[in-house]
Amino acid sequence: MGTFLVFLAGALFVAGIIYIMLPKAKSGKKWLTVVNWVLYVIFFLDFWTGVSFIYLNAGYSHAKAVSVSIFVFMGSAVILGLILARFLGLLGGKSKVKGASLSE
């Protein structure tokens, strides 16, 4: 399981780098690009620190440590992920479909 988690972490890290480097994610503002990279690295480290903390403590049946790590690490990773998605334009953008309704 540990080998799979390391492989998954590497694959997701490369996928995130490729996505941030796409032309649609680049805004032309240098400060925003730096903020995106810093948020991505902090998000990635926070998320995978939480996953490893959960994995290690679950192996030793430390239920309280697992629940605390889920609350702290995964909660902060969700918040950082939402902020990063907002900066990359995945959330809060304008709808591309105008005038569409479910009754048609």
The terminus-to-terminus CA distance of the chain in angstroms comes to 49
Q: Determine if the pTM surpasses 0.75.
A: no
Mean pLDDT for the stretch of residues 12-23: 79
Report pLDDT digits (tens) over 45-103. 888 888 888 888 888 888 888 888 888 888 888 888 888 888 877 777 665 655 555 55
Name the band, by pLDDT with cuts 50, 70 and 90, for residue 5.
Answer: confident
Per-residue model confidence (pLDDT) at position 69: 85
Residue range of the domain that includes 86 = 31-90
At residue 87's C-alpha, the angle toward residues 10 and 20, to 5°, is 35
Per-residue model confidence (pLDDT) at position 20: 76
Report the number of distinct structural domains present in the chain. Answer: 1
Q: Minimal CA–CA distance to 46: which of 73, 70, 72, 71? A: 73
